[in-house]
Amino acid sequence: MKRICISVLALLFVLAVLASAGCGDDDSSVPGDGQEQAATLVFSDPELQFQLTRALGDTAYGGADIGECLSTAGRIDEGDVNSWYTEWYETAERILSLAEASLAAGHEVSAREAYLRATTYYAMAEFYLHGDPSDPRIRESSARSRDSFARAAQLFSPPIEPVSIPYEGITLPGYFYRVDDSGAPRPTIIIQTGFDGTQEELYNQGAIAAVRRGYNCLTFEGPGQGEVIREQGLPFRYDWEKVITPVVDYVMSRPEVDQGKVALFGISMGGYLAPRGAAFEPRLAALIADGGVFEPWYPACTSIAPHYPPSGGTAEGLVASIRDDPDDFDQAIEEVMGESIQLNWFIGNGMFTFGVDKPSAFLLAFSQYSMAGVADRISCPTLVIDSDNDTSMKGEPQRLYDALTCPKDFILFTTEEGAGLHCQMGAMLLAHQRIFDWLDETLSPRGMQ
């Protein structure tokens, strides 16, 4: 068995995975200019700061409040992820109690707003717990987040409707957002998350923005995501077309849907999942990939490979070396996971959502995810999005764009305009302005004011 010096590799592994996951640039172990917009606000650790920025971004649509986020962050012991859980959970509990008090007093708007914020804070609380899938706090916090959103959903007019989407003998959870109660067929957008998001978060990341512009919206969770992995135990699958087709079937069954104007919008690793599904789904009228992803495993493996000699310095060589000697790789990476919050989370969440118990098994399964030989099957107009400081999927949007043969457009968001982070975190209003303006022009719906 090939053994390598763990003490030498420790720092290299940490820096490599930090760079591949969006917590540093390619040329330095310290944050680049784009990361500094997130890295200097509260936390010195750029990964923690990015997640805080993610929550702060939800303030655009009422999913968080700035003061609540900053006061919570200020109480967190940066070196202790249990402190992260405790402080966000306590904030969520406090805001939930405010929601319930407002509802009991008949103040439905105040209750709805507080339920939305509690939804975000419970989700923030459990984010770093996935290294131990048996931790009861994962299911408990997630359930409270989902329940908070369900309560908020009933206080909208019209209500946001919980739905069950038939899928391989079971159902997938979703929410259907209607523009109004008229029943008139309208353009409809399907929005899905990626590696670590939830469909409740999609309220802030596109769903309510769509409704404001005259689109119905369906959000859903598939295998490996949200409630589906936590409660049903279904892990991610690379052949996401098996998920998207039943979802489109469901949308097409709704009388409120204009069947000629159905779009699909994938966020984060959804920028791979949505295009993969669209390649096999001719009923879609438009596709949005934010950010676009050709092979989601490739950037991480490309960064790690030069620091793992058996790989020969390439992503493909890394996968081959893991396949040849998984135990060696597992020992190497497990020795250093505790030295980085980001590395520990990336590997832990990967094992959790892919339903495996070894880092090697996660990366080998991940390596099956590819648009090679598939991208040219997409026929609908497609928008591929990149952000100039998104190092988690660096180069992937361009790879996807280059592989497409359908009508296509490319948008690059920049750090200068405040939108350079992964999925434009912290700049939702600007992102949605450009994304939905493109969709308006592509589908030409009757705009709603």
- Residues noted as catalytic: 268
Q: Give me the amino acid identity at 38.
A: A
- Are the CB atoms for 424 and 431 separated by under 8 Å? yes
Exposure of 25 by Cβ count < 10 A (0-12 exposed, 13-18 middle, 19+ buried)?
middle
DSSP state at residue 379: -
Instruction: Specify the 3-state DSSP secondary structure of 387.
Output: strand
Q: Give me the amino acid identity at 67.
A: G
- Residue 36: partners with Cβ closer than 8 Å, 6 or more residues away: none
Residue bearing tokens 């991610």: 236
Distance (Å) of CA 24 to CA 303, 380, 394, 407: 12, 35, 11, 33
CA distance 227 to 173: 8
Phi first, then psi: give them for residue 164, nearest 5 degrees.
-120, 125
- Residue 159: partners with Cβ closer than 8 Å, 6 or more residues away: 153
CA distance 64 to 68: 8
Q: Which residues pair with 386 in a beta bridge?
A: 412
CA torsion through residues 303, 308, 314, 319, sign? negative
Phi first, then psi: give them for residue 265, nearest 5 degrees.
-130, 115
Nearest one of 295, 292, 303 to 387, comparing CA atoms:
292
DSSP state at residue 27: T
CA distance 235 to 162: 22
CA distance 103 to 411: 42
Angle between helices 359-366 and 315-324 (to 10 degrees): 130
- Count other Cβ atoms within 10 Å, centred on residue 429: 12
CA distance 58 to 201: 8
b/e string for 402-411 if b means 16 or more Cβ within 10 A? ebbeeebebb
CA atoms within 13 A on the CB side of 79: 1
Output the CA angle 442-447-448, nearest 5 degrees. Answer: 145
